[in-house]
Amino acid sequence: MRFQEQLSEVIRSYGSGSLDETRVLLESLRPPEIANLLESTPPKVRQVIWRLLDEEEENKILQHLHEDVLNEFVESMKTEQLAAAADDLDTDDFADILQQLPRTISDEVLAMLDASDRARLEAVLSYPEDTAGGLMNTDTITVRPRHAIEIVLRYLRLRKELPRTTDALIVVNSREEYVGLLPVAKLLTADPSVTVREVMDSEAEVIAVDLPDTDVARIFSEHDLISAPVVDAAGKLLGRITIDDVVDVIIEDADEAVLARAGLDLEEDTFAPILKSARRRAVWLSINLATAFLAAAVINIFEETIAKVVALAVLMPIVASMGGIAGTQTLTLVIRGIAVGQIGRANLPYLVNREFVVAILNGLLLASLVAVVAAIAFDDVILGGVIALAMIINLMVAAISGSLLPSILVAMRIDPAIAGGVVLTTITDVTGFFVFLGLATWAYA
């Protein structure tokens, strides 16, 4: 059954007051699917769905919920149940949940755990959420270089179960310092009499604990990794990162890139209460309103010119719109390049020059077309020349702004995905209006 069909069935059952069908449907779904279902229903419906789940299912679903919806359910859970969730979740996933809780509650939950579980969680919680340390899990299997393959195989049989996504064992020395990896495939095919040192991979990729999560995702992509060890500055093994956590980072970054341009929060509940949503969005709407006033103030300077040549009011949006679109194209390209590590100080000048030339070429082509149309439509050759020149100038400004703005915002510790669009639109609108109306004032003087 497709998701939309599942969603329709749940809402229909809720409306009819019969929840037996919903209970049967929930039993056939995996935790991520139920989490998606919860986030796709209004608050009253999701509370009914939540009550249909048993405690073990609730624990497994928590890790897949976004912050707003997670907080909604966690607030109603007892401390004992939250502590019990640690048995059903990986260390890094449970740490993510604890980070969303008020400090007093998270401390109570930690106090209820046994010493080993608490130590593992505190190790992960000591690092920022968006770093390798915040992503890592502590469920590692380590072996010594001197051990024979036969001994390692016997050890694994005694364990009976391996951690999920285990594609390699981590080789460490007596000081728990990382030495290399022993791939499971090589372990199974190697001569049982040889030692780990003889078959291990000492050149395998290793992740620094303070590395940003976006860089971790890039390393996994470049090296086609399934898992990777995490070490501190001294080379001591702290844990490992697995591909499922990296996929979450990639999805979150993609969602954030889309939502940030509209000033929306990645963790915002789609069905959040009206006042809560209105309060959050009012911030960016107010910023946009301020920039709109700035553009309006520029237009007001040339009020007499507009009154003299009414056609200017008709053509103004064309100049601003073309600059905005061209700038957004460049801005998006550069933000993506920075995110994937393709753009830095060394090659940024080349990119700026390239975008500038592209803007000139497109400007000449499109400005010529608009000039002819404007001259014919308003029977005014001067007007056609003015809008053509204004378009070319605004496209060049848009190209330069779109190329340099992300780096400037990053240097100011501002997320370019969030603020870049607002700043760029302000620049292209103000420049477009000022240049177009300024040229018109000079041409018709």
Q: Mind listing the pLDDT tens digit for each residue in 62-114?
A: 878 877 777 777 777 777 777 777 777 777 777 877 777 777 777 888 888 87
Average pLDDT over residues 354-364: 93
User: Residue 222: its pLDDT value, please?
Assistant: 87
Size of the chain, expressed as the number of residues it contains? 445
* Confidence grade of residue 4 (pLDDT, cut at 50, 70, 90): low
Average pLDDT over residues 45-49: 80
User: Residue 181: its pLDDT value, please?
Assistant: 94
Average pLDDT over residues 313-329: 90
Residue 214 scores a pLDDT above 70: yes
Residue 418 scores a pLDDT above 60: yes
Location of each CATH 1.25.60.10 domain in the chain: 3-129
User: Residue 260: its pLDDT value, please?
Assistant: 59
User: Residue 385: its pLDDT value, please?
Assistant: 92
User: Residue 200: its pLDDT value, please?
Assistant: 93
User: Residue 439: its pLDDT value, please?
Assistant: 93
Tokens read off for 334: 């550069």
User: Residue 84: its pLDDT value, please?
Assistant: 77
- Going from the C-alpha of 243 to that of each of 26, 126, 223, 278, the distances in angstroms are 27, 22, 12, 37
* Confidence grade of residue 390 (pLDDT, cut at 50, 70, 90): very high
Distance CA 395, CA 334 (A): 16
User: Residue 180: its pLDDT value, please?
Assistant: 92
User: Residue 148: its pLDDT value, please?
Assistant: 93
Distance CA 295, CA 424 (A): 13
User: Residue 416: its pLDDT value, please?
Assistant: 80
Average pLDDT over residues 386-414: 91
User: Residue 283: its pLDDT value, please?
Assistant: 75
User: Residue 401: its pLDDT value, please?
Assistant: 93
Average pLDDT over residues 203-209: 91
User: Residue 362: its pLDDT value, please?
Assistant: 93
Distance CA 177, CA 224 (A): 24
User: Residue 56: its pLDDT value, please?
Assistant: 77
- List of E strands, 204-291: 207-208, 227-231, 237-242
Helix (H) or strand (E) holding 432, with range, is helix 416-443
Strand-by-strand arrangement of the 168-172 sheet: 142-143, 168-172, 178-183
Location of each CATH 3.10.580.10 domain in the chain: 142-260
- Which amino acid is it at 386? V
Strand-by-strand arrangement of the 227-231 sheet: 207-208, 227-231, 237-242
CATH code linked to domain 142-260: 3.10.580.10
User: Residue 197: its pLDDT value, please?
Assistant: 92
Distance CA 252, CA 245 (A): 11
Q: Does domain 274-443 have CATH number 3.30.470.10?
A: no
Location of each CATH 1.10.357.20 domain in the chain: 274-443
Residue written as tokens 């009011």? 313
Q: Which is it for strands 142-143 and 168-172: parallel, antiparallel or unpaired?
A: parallel
Q: What is the mean pLDDT of the chain?
A: 84
- Going from the C-alpha of 280 to that of each of 276, 293, 302, the distances in angstroms are 6, 21, 36
Q: What does the angle CA 91 – CA 95 – CA 98 come to, to the nearest 5 degrees?
A: 140
Domain boundaries 3-129, CATH class: mainly alpha
Residue 259 scores a pLDDT above 60: no
Residue 290 scores a pLDDT above 90: no
Tokens read off for 182: 């022993």
